[in-house]
Chains A and B, each alone.
Chain A
Amino acid sequence: MKEKHERGSHSSRAGENVVAIRDLSFRWQPQAPIVLNIDRLGIDNGERVFIEGPSGSGKSTLLSLLAGVSVPQKGELRVLDRRLDQLSSVQRDYFRAHHIGYIFQMFNLIPYLTMVDNVTLPCQFSKIRRDNALRRSNTLDAEAMRLLDHLDMTRGDMLHRPVTALSVGQQQRVAAARVLMGAPELLIADEPTSSLDADLREAFVRLLFQECEQAGSTLVFVSHDASLEKLFDRTIRLAEVNAARPESTQEH
């Protein structure tokens, strides 16, 4: 029932843009060349989007804008109906804590925390995500265990091993459990599969989809691996939407 309600609240926004960009322009430093110059870009609620582009074309830069770490110098950046370009940096940090799950390419885990502590970490910084997690399970640890169990990470002694003693694929699954914790609306993944082998990549992406669907989250996924493209709802070719041409752009 609760799950339905959750999804309901998300689907009430169905069709609305989770991300809406207009006339955006961004450079890292005042003198640096413009990295991103995007006229118009929208991502719908619940969409699973694949972002593709050559190295140095600004994919990670775009993600850091969506996550509210950087702000555009010009234009409008609307995420989940908030004008990120108009929020203060503290407000953006709160925004990220509450609404965004972020997966890195690798080394996602904090080495001195246990697997469960790594997964519950987002709830330390966001009451909303803690409440979301507690709506599903009685305790944060139980919710972390539920997610880890889904991702097949609770077998054997894995739970009690230091996270540094997990394989890269296993670490990525723990990272997936972390972004799903407390059901943030927007999941962002920056090449999360590039350190996995081909079989694992597809399995990992499917796992992510499954969890996204359950949580009703939107997924923005960056990868160089064209073979994954077909699994997604839509592909955004950054070179097509980005009018700027960062200096180091080269085809992969």
Chain B
Amino acid sequence: MPILRLAWMSLLNRRLTGGLTLVSIALSVMLLIGVERLRVDARESFANTISGTDLIVGARSGGVQLLLYSVFRIGNATNNMSWKSYLDIASMPSVAWTIPLSLGDSHRGYRVLGTNPDYFTHYRFSRDRGLTFTQGQAFDDLFQTVLGAEVAEALGYQLDDAIVIAHGANDVGYARHEDKPFQVVGIMEHTGTPVDRTVHVSLEAIEAIHIDWQSGAPIPGLSISAERARKFDLTPQAITAALIGLKSRIATFKVQRAVNGYTEEPLSAILPGVALSELWGIIGIAENALPIVSAFVVLFGLLGMLIALLTSLNERRREMAILRSVGARPSHIFTLVMGEAAALTLAGIGLGLTLLYGLLLLAQPIVESRYGIHIALSGPTRHEGLLLGIVLLTGLVVGMLPSYRAYKQSLADGLSIRV
């Protein structure tokens, strides 16, 4: 169709404004799809923080709060659950495995988690991925620790290094368990979850470092050495929470009901999936705001095209009159401008996607090694395709205005060249 060739030649003739328009559309499309991808990936990695765990049990509290401190290590439990309750629940017939969690101490800004070796065998994240070690293995002695990937990386720890745990969440000089250092025996692989930011020790170790402490401070005059501490009964009195795996999913609600109705002390059992989506609902406001912002950016990109096309019309009136004189119909004039709008929008989408994939390709190895998150370089998803379709459609609708104007103008001007 020769008129489209003309549209193309005309566009080439105005390559500076055309190019700038194209770039602004491309950048806005890149932003739109990039943000969309980020949003989906963030939601996915959020949902992947924990998997395989059927119930999380802790002292009675809201589901989100329990999830926050037990899985995300954010905030503190207001109450503990007793060791006896834990054992009771662990011995329920439908329970396959349990992981006790004891939180409260920290090491240089990273939370310390007291647990048992079951943690390393049963904890799952990201659709059934288990924990693995880059170096060493799980602890099997009292004063040994396993570090999450980020902890080891950020603090530069190697195997066999000695670290000192601080009392409470704030690592301040006077509240350190200086007399009982831990030996690093394992460093874990990146998971992209809070596990990376956790220092793992045994439940007994948590007891041991607090033997000569009371109410958050060392008992004056009492000092029990690391070696002597081993002689004490280090069975914990209480833990913060427990992760529970069931033999069969069907039992989930039965066990949940049993825990919630536990008579010895008030406990809550929550389904991690439910709590996760509840939590996502709270922080999801940003999730909704982001696409709206990028939609506006796209709209502004297309508005730029509208302005460029409208301003070009006046200087192109002569061109239109010449075309009319050789027999171009007003509909041709419409097509001429419309073709330009379509070409700009399509090329903008193409260039935007190219830029985005280029960027992802560059970022992929960096993100993978730093955060352990694998960015899939898959083609546009259905939803992204839909978004691109809407962009194209909007571009065409925006293009209608100058096209219609050119159409009317060419009808009114006829063969007279007025500039």
Q: Does B210 contact A (CB under 8 A)?
A: no
Mask: chain B, 318-354; 1 = CB below 8 Å from A; 0 = not: 1101111111111010000000000000000000000
Interface centre among B3, B327, B329 (most CB of A within 10 A): B327
Interface residue tally for chain B (C-beta within 8 Å): 24
Q: Name the distance in Å between B101's Cβ and chain A's nearest Cβ.
A: 71
Q: Are B327 and A94 in contact (CB under 8 A)?
A: yes
Q: Are A63 and B326 in contact (CB under 8 A)?
A: no
Q: Are A125 and B417 in contact (CB under 8 A)?
A: no
Q: Are B326 and A111 in contact (CB under 8 A)?
A: no
Q: Does B10 contact A (CB under 8 A)?
A: yes
Determine which of B13, B328, B332 lies in contact with A112 in the assembled complex, contact meaning CB atoms within 8 Å: B13
Determine which of B13, B326, B330, B416 lies in contact with A125 in the assembled complex, contact meaning CB atoms within 8 Å: B326
Q: Does B181 contact A (CB under 8 A)?
A: no
Q: Does A154 contact B (CB under 8 A)?
A: no
Give chain A residues whose Cβ lies under 8 Å from the Cβ of B330. 89, 93
Q: Does B218 contact A (CB under 8 A)?
A: no
Mask: chain A, 44-75; 1 = CB below 8 Å from B; 0 = not: 00000000000000001001100101100000
Q: Are A93 and B319 in contact (CB under 8 A)?
A: no
Q: Are A90 and B326 in contact (CB under 8 A)?
A: no
Q: Does A238 contact B (CB under 8 A)?
A: no
Give chain B residues whose Cβ lies under 8 Å from the Cβ of A178. 326
Docked pose: A112 CA to B312 CA in angstroms: 14
Q: Does A38 contact B (CB under 8 A)?
A: no
Interface size band for A: 20 to 34
Q: Are A93 and B327 in contact (CB under 8 A)?
A: yes
Docked pose: A108 CA to B415 CA in angstroms: 11
Give chain A residues whose Cβ lies under 8 Å from the Cβ of B327. 93-94, 96-98, 100, 122, 125-126
Q: Does A121 contact B (CB under 8 A)?
A: yes
Docked pose: A100 CA to B2 CA in angstroms: 20
What is the chain A residue whose CB lies nearest that of B5? A124
Q: Does B92 contact A (CB under 8 A)?
A: no
Q: Are B415 and A69 in contact (CB under 8 A)?
A: yes
Give chain A residues whose Cβ lies under 8 Å from the Cβ of B415. 60, 63-64, 67, 69, 102, 104, 190
- Decide: A69 near B326, CB < 8 A? Known: A107-B318, A110-B319: no
Q: Are B326 and A121 in contact (CB under 8 A)?
A: yes
Q: Name the distance in Å between B378's Cβ and chain A's nearest Cβ.
A: 40
Give chain A residues whose Cβ lies under 8 Å from the Cβ of B417. 104-105, 107
Q: Does A109 contact B (CB under 8 A)?
A: yes
Give chain B residues whose Cβ lies under 8 Å from the Cβ of A100. 327
**Which residues of chain B from 389 to 419 have a CB within 8 Å of any chain A CB?**
414-417
Determine which of B2, B322, B329, B416 lies in contact with A93 in the assembled complex, contact meaning CB atoms within 8 Å: B329
What is the chain B residue whose CB lies nearest that of A102? B325
Q: Are B325 and A93 in contact (CB under 8 A)?
A: no
**Which residues of chain B from 296 to 321 have a CB within 8 Å of any chain A CB?**
318-319, 321
Give chain B residues whose Cβ lies under 8 Å from the Cβ of A102. 325-326, 415
Mask: chain A, 224-235; 1 = CB below 8 Å from B; 0 = not: 000000000000
What is the chain B residue whose CB lies nearest that of A94? B327
**Which residues of chain B from 189 to 229 have a CB within 8 Å of any chain A CB?**
none
Interface centre among B9, B12, B324, B325 (most CB of A within 10 A): B325
Docked pose: A126 CA to B326 CA in angstroms: 9
Q: Name the distance in Å between B129's Cβ and chain A's nearest Cβ.
A: 58
Q: Name the distance in Å between B413's Cβ and chain A's nearest Cβ.
A: 9
Q: Are A112 and B10 in contact (CB under 8 A)?
A: yes
Q: Are B326 and A97 in contact (CB under 8 A)?
A: yes
What is the chain A residue whose CB lies nearest that of B411? A89
Docked pose: A97 CA to B3 CA in angstroms: 14
What is the chain B residue whose CB lies nearest that of A162? B13
Q: Name the distance in Å between B335's Cβ and chain A's nearest Cβ.
A: 12
- Decide: A64 near B10, CB < 8 A? Known: A69-B324, A102-B326, A125-B328: no
Q: Could you give 24 example pairs across A and B, Cβ below 8 Å? A: A64-B415, A67-B415, A89-B330, A90-B329, A93-B327, A93-B329, A94-B327, A96-B325, A96-B326, A96-B327, A97-B326, A97-B328, A100-B327, A104-B321, A104-B322, A104-B415, A104-B417, A109-B322, A111-B319, A112-B10, A113-B9, A121-B322, A124-B2, A125-B328
Given contacts A102-B326, A104-B321, A108-B322, 12 further A-B contacts (CB under 8 A): A69-B324, A69-B415, A90-B329, A93-B330, A94-B327, A96-B326, A112-B9, A112-B13, A113-B6, A122-B327, A124-B2, A124-B326
Lowest 5 A-B CB distances belong to which pairs?
Answer: A97-B327, A112-B13, A125-B327, A69-B414, A102-B325
